[in-house]
Each structure stands twice: as C-alpha cells, then as structure tokens.
Amino acid sequence: MSEPPPPCLTTRDLNLWYAKFQALINVTLDIRHGIITSLIGPSGCGKTTLLRCFNRVNERYGYVTTTGEIRILNKNIYDPDVSLVELRKSVGMVFQRPNPLPISVYENVVFGLRIHHPRGTLTRPEMDDAVERALTEVGLWKDLKDHLDRKATTLQLEQQQKLCIARLLPLKPEVILMDEPCSALDVEGTRAIEELMFALKGRYTIVIVTHNMAQARRASDECIFMLLGELIEHSRTEDLFLNPKNPRTAEYIEGRYG
C-alpha cells in the first residue's frame, strides 16, 4: 500500500449541543486528503450534524454550542480570525434533495462567483470559462451547453444534483460535503453521482453521509461508523465491512439494528 495521504480535516474532542441535547460526544477523527470518506450509522446518530460542523453551517439552524476543535488544512475553523464566508467557500455542501436555485443553469454555476466578487468585477469571459469548466467537470457540459439559459429547476433530478455539485467548483473548494446525495435519485442517477464522486476525488476531499450501507461500501475509501453521537469505528471501508473491530459496528452492518 502506498503512503497514506496527509489529513485534510481533523477534529479533536468535538462536542456539540442543540440547546440541552448533546448530539456529538468527543468526536476525534482524521479525514485524509483527496479520498472519499463515508459516514454511516442509524438515524439520529449525528452524521449530518457532524457534516454540518465542517463548514459551521450548523450555526445557521439555531442554538448550537460546540467545544473541541476542527482543523481544516491545519487551521482551526473556530479561531476568531476565521471568516465564515471564506470557510464555506472552501467547504461546500451538497444536499439530499437537489436544490438548484430557480434561475438559469448558467446563473446557478456562477452564483458562488457573484457572491464572492464585488459587483462589476467579473467579466463575461471569466464567467463563461468558469461555467464551461465546472459543467465539464461534472459531465453536464455536453448535454447542457446549448441550454445554459434553461431554468435549473426544470432539469432531471440527476442533472440537478450534478449542477449542485458544479455550483461549488468555481469557488475551488478543498472539501465537498455530501448529505445523502443520492437518496432522491433512481439507480441510474445514483450510479452517475457515484461515478462523478470517483472522478472528483483526488482534487477534492469528499465526505459523504449515507443511509445506504451498500453505497458506503461501493463508493468510499474510508468509512466512519457513528452511534448516538459517538464515533465508534473509523477505518478503511473494506476493513470496516469485512473485519469490524467493534461488536456494535458488526451488529449494525449485519443489520441487527438500524
């Protein structure tokens, strides 16, 4: 086996409370650069909460209290000098239901650029270039290059989800977080998104939350099993599924509870 890539995203003793309810308990993990890491576990185990910590978007949903630290590229994202705008620019998220904005395909892709540039500083060629590159990267360019002014909400679900991924790319993210990105898609759509994940890994660190154990097994390099807010096991995906070290992991992947 080759030298493991360096960690891109690490947490140390991460605890998180929604008001009085503790959703994450002493989570410590190292997610390595450029691979796909999946988060699995039964509903309510804190997978999505943990994912939302990585770009601190949790804080938009209500009262959360966090202790511990999260480092991305060795920078603690809870440091006072961290700008949430800049953080979310490099740590993008893809959701369960594709959520393109009700504007054109083109405008969806350049949306992030517009948000992060003062008015009037983006030139048309720059934007055209960004759109072509992002759509090419997610494999939509061939289908959509003549339909860039089409309303994004009228695309097929699979295309919408790819577009949501493409929307992150012009911002040159480090990490792409995916919260059950395939659960609204059919078999073909799921396959397409998984293939896209494989194509994107290496350049981006991908963390995916999934309910679907088979998907975690197929589509991730490393796998993290969580239960009731705690990290139970983190190892290479094949090890976790073939030789789980913790009996609770073994019972979960055997389907004894879920």
Partner 1 sequence: MFAETPFVRDKRRSETTAKWVFFAMAGSMILPLLLIVVFLFVKAAPSLRVDFLLDIPRRGMTEGGIWPAFVGTIYLVFISLAVSAPIGILAAVYLNEYARDNWLNRLINLAVINLAGVPSIVHALFGLGAFVYAARFGYSILSASLTLAIMTLPVIIASTREALASVPMSFREACWNVGATRWQTIRSVVLPNSISGILTGVILQVSRAAGETAPIMFTGAVFFKAVQKGDLFAYNLNEQCMALSMHLYTISTQVPGVRESVPFATAVVLLGSVLLVNAAAIALRAHMRARKKW
Where do contacts with partner 1 occur on this chain (CB under 8 A)?
55, 57, 60, 62-63, 84-89, 92-93, 95, 97, 99-102, 111-112, 114-116, 151, 153-154, 164, 167-168, 171
CA end-to-end span of the chain? 33
CB of 153 to partner 1, least distance (A): 5
Return the number of the residue (41 or 98) whose C-beta is nearest partner 1. Answer: 98
Return the number of the residue (19 or 214) whose C-beta is nearest partner 1. Answer: 19
Return the number of the residue (46 or 92) whose C-beta is nearest partner 1. Answer: 92
- Main-chain phi, psi angles of 173, to 5 degrees: -75, 160
Q: Is 115 exposed, middle or buried (0-12, 13-18, 19+ CB in 10 A)?
A: exposed
Return the number of the residue (164 or 182) whose C-beta is nearest partner 1. Answer: 164
- Kindly report the number of other CB atoms within 10 A of residue 123's CB atom: 9
CB of 84 to partner 1, least distance (A): 7
CB of 100 to partner 1, least distance (A): 7
Return the number of the residue (60 or 145) whose C-beta is nearest partner 1. Answer: 60
CB of 91 to partner 1, least distance (A): 8
Using alpha carbons, list the distances in angstroms from residue 75 to 11, 204, 227.
11, 17, 27
The single residue listed with the structure tokens 């929307």 is 167
CB of 108 to partner 1, least distance (A): 9
CA atoms within 13 A on the CB side of 15: 10
Please report the sign of the dihedral spanned by the C-alpha atoms of residue 31, residue 111, residue 211, residue 220: negative
